[in-house]
Structure 1
Amino acid sequence: MADWARRSLEGCPIVTLEISALSTTESPRRSGEDESHIENLAEWGEELPPIVVHEPSMRVIDGVHRLRAAVLRGDRHIRARCYQGSEEDAFVLSVWMNTAHGLPLSRQDRTEAAIRILKTHAHWSDRRIAAAVGLAAGTIRSLRRRSTDQNAQSDIRIGRDGRRRPLNSAAGRRLASKLLIENPTASLRAVARQAGVSPATVQDVRKRMRAGDDPVPEPRRGHSRRARAAVPLRRDDGSSGRRSWQTLAHDLKHALDQMKKDPALRFTETGRNLLRWLDRHVLGMAEWPQLLASVPSHCTVLVANFARLYGAAWTSLATLLEEGEITQHPNLEIAGS
């Protein structure tokens, strides 16, 4: 969301405007201004940062308290950054800027703003709107379900990264399979862009086509909607292989060795933690033969099922990473914990 706001304000000129020409209507702050905060700003010895104004309507997007402080000091003019976008986008900017810094909006203000944004930006994902108003994605999801403005709903959602994603991936999978048939050598990303799905989805479609399966998997009842169907491990030529994990282990070690050369990972604490975490998983694969040899015969099915679930979890994680759904502080929960 910060990237969208930054791009929206890039190139907006800073000019001096007459205070009497500005409007403070349509503010997301329904509870009004904080008088003590205005007095503190008025007593500030240095020049205050410029406010943000929607130039077509001359409405203040961000900086009402600074505007009131300028009036209290007897100023007739104020410096302002002029935004030329739509009224709807101007409101989103106003909510985000009043949530990200300064005197924060109340929860009621943020909730009412979310309801309004759901009507004007229904094509935005729950996470994207949540980032704009400072609420949880689950709260936005609940508000969307209760919305009676059905005409504003869309089959496409735009995420926080700006990418368009269909709510129902079946159509995207069908189109991806058609594109792969027409051009088998096309890259995953090229097909993903045309089909409106993620590269990971295109890769899964390609694997299913090679195996002779339908590109759209049948829904699995009784499972979480985030779960992915576990499929047998196959080689690139489509044949099953008992020892294919050894080839994968070699490839993983090679990939990890390359990552260890990346300065962004080597010279940061979080990067080193990530490398150590991945290293533990790669090195652990060398112990598989000894561990599997000790599995009692009556537990082989249970261990095999555990391995498939573990693989499905990693596949789900990979999809989330490629789709940009992992945030810096994700709220991840393990079912049954």
Structure 2
Amino acid sequence: MVRLELTALKTSESARRGGIDAEHVERLAAVREELPPIIVHRPTMAVIDGRHRVRAAALRGATTITARLFQGDGDDAFVLAVRANVAHGLPLPMADRKRAAERIIASHPQWSDRMIASVTGMAPGTVAEIRRRAGGAPAAVRVGQDGRSRPVDGAERRRRASELISSNPDMSLRQVARAVGISPETVRDVRNRLHRGEDPLATGRPAAARDSAPAPAAVPLTLRAGRAAAVPPRWSADQGAAVQRLRTDPALRLSETGRRLLMLLSLHTVKPGEWEALIDGVPTHCGAVVAQLARDCAQRWAEFAVSVERQLPDAS
């Protein structure tokens, strides 16, 4: 952080169409503590985030202000401004968020709907609708919130993978995945479909298999040694990272229901060794009650997952 002269700062394009809110400036000027640092675009010295704080500092009679410097191009500076203005005490109105999403879709067409939604504080479905109305040539690859690139047209890559597998049966899953640009699990699915004589371009399980598959049985928790071996819930190291990414999403952390959801997800991010310790710590006399409560919680989470998936843009 650095101290900058107020006279050295310039005005930048703002995602907030309503301009400066005089009442908000007065509220900030009345705060006795030092305000959070503003963000300044280093190449142009334009204020990316903190125009109200700059006005408040001037109203106090200050000549300098604390700032963080951002080194990047104008499009990335706009993205940073939108992200900051969604998160702080005077959030962007929805109309401004939608206009910001339109610009970000134009400047970062490779970003996924969820990535743009996390910046603008909107639902991914709303961003998808804005992208659809905007038109234009779709990007071949989308970059998600995890930074990974994923193909938009997976059918063409599945076709190329099937050709590679047919012509080079000794190639490993990872070799084919790297050559085509899809995940090894997708390559595995293509290979299995080829072996079964099915269409490698199809995705998901066949309808007949889905309809005839039995519902998964509940796995009881083992309470003490001497019974069947315990089967703890499946865990991945990526779960903890996924929850941490969700914690940075303004759409979640700035709402009461979002914070409650983050708390519940954090509580359930438990490693295998921790599950075993929990199992061993259940007293025998209350084991049946704990087991039933665990099953009830699992059922509620399963129903919750189904309901959330139904709200996704591509849900049928």
- Structure-2 residue corresponding to 1:159: 144
Opposite residue 14 of structure 2, the aligned amino acid is S
Amino acid at match of 1:46: E
In the alignment, is residue 147 of structure 1 matched against residue 148 of structure 2?
A: no
Give the match for residue 281 of structure 2. none
Structure 2 segments unaligned to the other structure (5+ residues) = 220-227, 241-265, 276-290, 297-301
Going from structure 1 to structure 2, the CA distance change for 1:269 and 1:146 (only over 3 Å counts) comes to: closer
State the partner residue of 1:58.
45
Letter in 2 for 1:333: R
Q: Which residue of 2 aligns with 1:305?
A: none
1:229 lines up with 2:206 in the alignment: yes
Residue of structure 2 in register with 1:88 after alignment: 75
CA distance in 1 between counterparts of 2:295 and 2:105 reads 44
Q: Report the Cα distance in structure 2 between the residues aligned to 1:334 and 1:56, rounded to whole angstroms.
A: 42
Equivalent runs, 1:33-44 vs 2, <5 Å: 33-44=20-31
**Separation in 2 of the partners of 1:39 and 1:82?**
25
Aligned to 2:16: 29
The yes-or-no answer on 1:197 pairing with 2:182 is yes
User: How far off its partner does 1:101 sit?
Assistant: 2.4
1:110–1:257 Cα change, 3 Å: closer
Structure 2 equivalent of residue 118 of structure 1: 105
Q: Post-superposition shift, 1:174?
A: 2.7
- Amino acid across the alignment from 2:268: T
Structure 2 letter corresponding to 1:27: S
Give the CA deviation at 1:228: 4.6
Partner SS state of residue 101, structure 2: helix
Q: Deviations over 1:90-145 (max 9, x none)?
A: 10111011112221000111011111111101111111111111112222122112
Residues 110 and 142 of structure 2 are in contact (CA less than 8 Å); yes or no, is this contact kept in structure 1? yes
SS of equivalent to 2:78: helix
The residue number in structure 2 matching 1:292 is: none
Is 2:257 aligned against 1:270? no
Counterpart AA for 2:190: V
Alignment CA distance shift 1:112-1:269 (3 Å): closer
Aligned match for 1:213, one of 171, 185, 198: 198
What secondary structure sits across from 1:45 in the alignment? coil
User: CA 1:255–1:68 in 2, change beyond 3 Å: closer, same or farther?
Assistant: farther
Distance 1:165 1:258 in 2: 28
Shift of 1:333: 2.2
Question: Residue 52 of structure 1: CA displacement?
Answer: 0.7
1:169-219, Cα deviation, whole Å (9 max, x unpaired)? 02221333345453746245x64344222343222112112223342128x
Unmatched tracts of structure 1, length 5 or more: 1-13, 219-226, 234-241, 282-313, 315-325
* Count of matched residue pairs: 250
Match of 2:94 among 102, 107, 127: 107
Paired residue for 1:74? 61
Residues 178, 280 of structure 1: CA spacing in aligned structure 2 closer, same or farther, 3 A cutoff?
farther
Question: Do the aligned partners of residues 129 and 119 (structure 1) sit closer, same or farther apart at CA in structure 2, a change above 3 Å counting?
Answer: same
Equivalent pairs: percent with the same residue? Answer: 44
- In 1: Cα distance, 2:233 partner to 2:170 partner: 29
- CA pair 26-183 structure 1, distance change in 2 beyond 3 A: farther
SS at match of 2:40: strand
The CA deviation string for residues 58-81 of structure 1, in whole angstroms up to 9 with x for no partner, is 111111111111111111111111
TM-score using structure 2 length: 0.66
TM-score using structure 1 length = 0.62
Which AA in structure 1 matches 2:85? N
User: Deviation per CA, 1:219-256, whole angstroms, max 9, x where unpaired?
Assistant: xxxxxxxx6534769xxxxxxxx9xx9xxx9xxx9894
